[in-house]
Structure 1
Amino acid sequence: MKSTRPFSPFEWMLALRYLRAKRAESFISIISVISLVGIALGVAVLIIVMAVMNGFRHDLMGRILGIDGHIMVQSASGQPISDYDALAARIAKVKGVTHVTPMVQGFAAVDANGVATGVQIRGIRRADVEALTMVSKSLPPAALRAYGEDTVLVGARLAQRMGLYPGSDIKILGLHGDVTPFGTMPRAKVYSVAGLFTIGMSEYDKTIIYMPLSEAQMFFNYGDAVPSLEVMTIDPDKVDGIAANIEKVVGSGVRVLTWRDTQSTFFDAVQVERNVMALILTLIVVVAALNIVSGLYMLVKDKSPDIAILRTMGATRGAVMRVFLITGMSIGVSGTFIGFLIGVLFCKNIEAIRQILMKLTGTNLFNPEIYFLSHMPALMDPLEVAVTVFVALLLSFLATLYPAWRAARLDPVEALRYE
């Protein structure tokens, strides 16, 4: 037999022939199908889960950082910032900064229609509310026009709980009051509700009230100063470099905190969960690759006489090894490609699939009351998809090495002794 070049048509023909099941080899073929399905499911599930986790993180970041800001600037001494307008103007000139909001924050009690609860007051100007798209996009223009000296903006869930609507009154009681001979008297004032906003996260919609900056300064005894400035940037994932540039602009005496400092616990937990899920789901691909090992090893044992005859006809060990490498990798590549297609198509149509399943089952498969989101987001990262495909192909290749090596090391004399 004349020696053939590596990966010649003969080797491909022989490898693909081994993949086609005969009646006597049906069990081996079943193992191969299980391996292919396992790899496809592992790759598809890994792509889907990683995309959904990325979507959740992106959506939650958009909602949380959309109202809390990407960078917070405070006085290092803990005292309020009096020249906040001049400071905001300097920060706004930093590359990457999109908006700077002087803000007063504090906690207060509210009372309306016989219902009392605690809330967080955020004092900002009307122009800053308009720039806060996470809030302003849910407000009608009339509500923004009405937002002024004696009016406030109330979260929709808080309004629902207290029976409020635009134009109704709400009493706000502050812990910082006026000092009298009889002690400190809590400050209380009745405001009119200018409008109801919806952020999309129940924890915010039921606890936040926006108040004009001048009113909040008076209410919390800040005078003509603010405790902090909230800075919005182009990309929240690149805040470290922007924060360093802000520190150079503002100089000493001012502390600059990023969202990684203020929200690190929450987003670190999301990241850990995402990494653990990826590790667990990768085990599916590993198990499927082990099935390739067992199926291919059984195929080698079954085809020992054929291998021996090929060797006696002049086939090299390299040719035999390549035949079984092609056989095993055909399963791995096919499973990976099918899983890739399923994963990508599922992610592209994940919300439509959820809606169909909801109609078929009659149950809400994704409760926005629990997850704060009204849809199921999926955001595929091309690099993560590429890594998933590469890992699946690498595991498939490694799974074929030992059976292929065993086939190449087979002694023709021993294989044909009892034939």
Structure 2
Amino acid sequence: MLKPLELAIGLRYTRAKKRNHFVSFISLSSILGIAVGVMALITVMSVMNGFERELREKILGMVSHATIAGFDGTLKNWSSLRNRARAHDQVIGVAPYVEGQGMLAHGTFMRGVVVRGVLPEQEPAVSEIDQYLITGSLEDLQDGAFRVLVGSTLARALGARVGDKVMMVVPHANVTLAGILPRMRRFTVAGIFEVAHAQYDSGLALVHLADGARIFRLGERVSGLRIMLPDLMDAPLVSRELARDLGGRFWVRDWTQYHANFFRAVKTEKTVMFIILTLIVAVAAFNIVSALVMVVTDKAADIAILRTLGASPTSIMWIFIAQGTLIGVVGTLLGAVGGIGLATNIEVLVSRIEAFFDIKFLSPEVYYISNVPADMRWPDVGMITLVAFVLCVLATLYPAWRASRTQPAEALRYE
């Protein structure tokens, strides 16, 4: 058991003799290495958590937790089906939608989009699109008005502003005297939204449900029903229950079947990054081995004198375990403080670097998320500091054992 004497001597040994500054340098480099490793781990894990949070909020804020569709891609008598879905105790919102591929053209610019028809009064129950609107509102989408809400990136690409006319082209043919022509309809830009997610900001156009049904010639049918749940993690279970309750006559899918790969990828990347950065901490921690071995050599005479005064091999071990642990604790605490500070300010720091150098680390035209988010979680901080501390303690065992094996007669022979 560690006693005050062993602790005091161990703390005293953290300072090498004046004639051996190299030992102090190795100890300092070990502290700095551990601090940098812990700081990097906390920061990277916080950023990965932030990406996971942003993906979940932005993707699932625009995509329903579950959908119900017919096997032919459309639903008839969807009103009664909506009422049946609402009867489930876990369903808090149901809304119909129409969806298809199309293109928007303005002037000489043209972009491919996903055209989604929604009911303005019901859409907020299944998505958060109203929170991302920069200009306009869902109420601007009126039956027969042929108005459209577009993403900010799409609006810039088309050079379109609110009030401009854009041509919507869908891959459904019209047979005319001039031949087969694609179906086209002129829409008015009624608003612009910005989700900060490239998939939606550059490729989604929202129209009224009735207008979408007209342009895709669905009549009274819709593409399906979108469902919102209080807890998105219950989506797989609720989807199976809905499919059973509906008699298996409809295709019920949940968000995990659409976007599970995103979250699996983030989880895998977090695990891999944790392992890689833990190796940095391990390398720094095992520098303690070098430092303590040199201290044992430097203090061989002192160890021998302590042994002759009655110190047991176990006491000698505790002296050097205390010394190495002190190095690890100082490095871990410095890294934890630095990591917490950097993780909580990483978004501000990155934005200032981008502004100063006039660069963009994550282009919204390329990446799903255009900023560098951070979500520091105290359990992660605790786990990282614990792992670093354990590695440091393990690194002290061999030098401490070697010190305990010192023979007083051999050590004092040439003194």
User: Does TM-score exceed 0.5, indicating one fold?
Assistant: yes
Residues 1:101 and 2:95 aligned together:
yes
Identity, % of aligned positions: 37
- Relative to the length of structure 2, the TM-score reads 0.90
Which residue pairs with 1:3 in the alignment?
none
Which residue pairs with 1:84 in the alignment?
78
Deviation at 1:38, TM superposition (A): 0.6
- Which structure 1 residue ranges, 5 or more long, are not aligned? 1-5
Deviation at 1:320, TM superposition (A): 0.9
Moved more, 299-308 or 105-114: 105-114
Residues 1:225 and 2:216 aligned together:
no
Instruction: Sort the Cα spacing of 1:56 and 1:210 in 2 relative to 1 into closer, same or farther, 3 A.
Output: same
Q: How does 1:343-382 map to 2 (within 5 A)?
A: 343-358=339-354, 361-364=356-359, 366-369=361-364, 370-373=366-369, 375-382=371-378
Question: Does the residue aligned with 1:30 lie in a helix, a strand or coil?
Answer: helix
Which residue pairs with 2:19 in the alignment?
24
Choose the corresponding residue for 2:411, options 397, 409, 415. Answer: 415
Q: Deviations over 1:339-385 (max 9, x none)?
A: 111111111122232344446x4333634434454542111233222
Aligned length: 412
Asked if the contact 1:172/1:189 (under 8 Å) is kept, the reply is yes
Choose the corresponding residue for 1:139, options 128, 133, 145. Answer: 133
Deviation at 1:198, TM superposition (A): 1.8
Q: Which amino acid aligns with 2:8?
A: M
Cα RMSD over matched residues? 2.5
Q: Which amino acid aligns with 1:315?
A: A
Asked if the contact 2:162/2:192 (under 8 Å) is kept, the reply is yes
Q: Deviations over 1:387-410 (max 9, x none)?
A: 211111111111011111111122
Asked if the contact 1:134/1:199 (under 8 Å) is kept, the reply is no
- Which structure 2 residue ranges, 5 or more long, are not aligned? none
Task: Determine the C-alpha separation between the residues in 2 that align with 1:54 and 1:328.
Answer: 32
Instruction: Sort the Cα spacing of 1:140 and 1:89 in 2 relative to 1 into closer, same or farther, 3 A.
Output: farther
Q: How does 1:284-299 map to 2 (within 5 A)?
A: 284-299=280-295
Deviation at 1:79, TM superposition (A): 4.7
Task: Determine the C-alpha separation between the residues in 1 that align with 2:238 and 2:338.
Answer: 40
Q: Which amino acid aligns with 1:147?
A: L
Choose the corresponding residue for 1:199, options 195, 199, 202. Answer: 195
Choose the corresponding residue for 1:61, options 56, 61, 66. Answer: 56
Instruction: Sort the Cα spacing of 1:89 and 1:385 in 2 relative to 1 into closer, same or farther, 3 A.
Output: farther
Asked if the contact 1:101/1:231 (under 8 Å) is kept, the reply is yes
Q: Which amino acid aligns with 1:37?
A: L
Asked if the contact 2:73/2:224 (under 8 Å) is kept, the reply is no
Task: Determine the C-alpha separation between the residues in 1 that align with 2:246 and 2:57.
Answer: 27
Asked if the contact 1:158/1:207 (under 8 Å) is kept, the reply is yes
Deviation at 1:126, TM superposition (A): 0.8
Question: Does the residue aligned with 1:126 lie in a helix, a strand or coil?
Answer: coil
Which residue pairs with 2:172 in the alignment?
176
Asked if the contact 1:80/1:227 (under 8 Å) is kept, the reply is yes
- Relative to the length of structure 1, the TM-score reads 0.90
Instruction: Sort the Cα spacing of 1:80 and 1:365 in 2 relative to 1 into closer, same or farther, 3 A.
Output: closer
Residues 1:114 and 2:108 aligned together:
yes
Asked if the contact 1:354/1:365 (under 8 Å) is kept, the reply is no
